[in-house]
Amino acid sequence: MVLSGLAAGLVLAVLFVANRQAPTHGETPSQMPTLAVIEVRAVPFRLEARGHGVARPAETWQAIANVSGRVVERHPNLESGALLPAGTLLLALDPDRYRLAIGEAEAELAGLAAERAQLTAEAENTRRLLDLERERLTLAEQELSRFESLTPSVVSRSQLDEQRRGTLAQRQAVASLDNQLRLLPSRLRRLEAQVERAATRRDQARRDLEDTRFVAPYDLRLGEVEVELHQHVGAGRRLFQADSIEAAEVEAQVPLEMLRRLMAAVPHPKRREQALDIGERLDLSAIRAEVFLVGAEGVRWSARVTRVASGLDPGTRTARVVVTIDDPYRSAEPPERPALQRDMYVRVHLSADSPEPLMVVPASAVHQGEVYRVGEGERLERRRVEVAFEQHDLAVIREGLVPGDLVIVDDPVPAVDGMRLVPRRDDELAHRLRRVAAGEAP
Tens of pLDDT, residues 46-92? 999 999 999 999 999 999 999 999 999 999 999 998 999 999 999 99
Query: What percent of the chain shows pLDDT beyond 90?
Result: 51
Query: What's the mean pLDDT when you consider all of the chain?
Result: 86
pLDDT for 204 beyond 90: yes
Burial 113-147 (b: 16+ CB within 10 A, else e): eeebeeeeeebeebeebbeebeeebeebeeebeeb
- How far is Cα of residue 195 from the mean position of the Cα atoms in its chain? 45
| Mean pLDDT value across residues 381-408 | 92
pLDDT value at position 25? 45
CA distance 246 to 58: 8
- pTM for this prediction: 0.69
CA distance 375 to 384: 14
Q: 122-125, long-range: CB within 8 Å, 24+ apart, which pairs?
A: 122/184, 123/181, 123/184
| Mean pLDDT value across residues 228-244 | 93
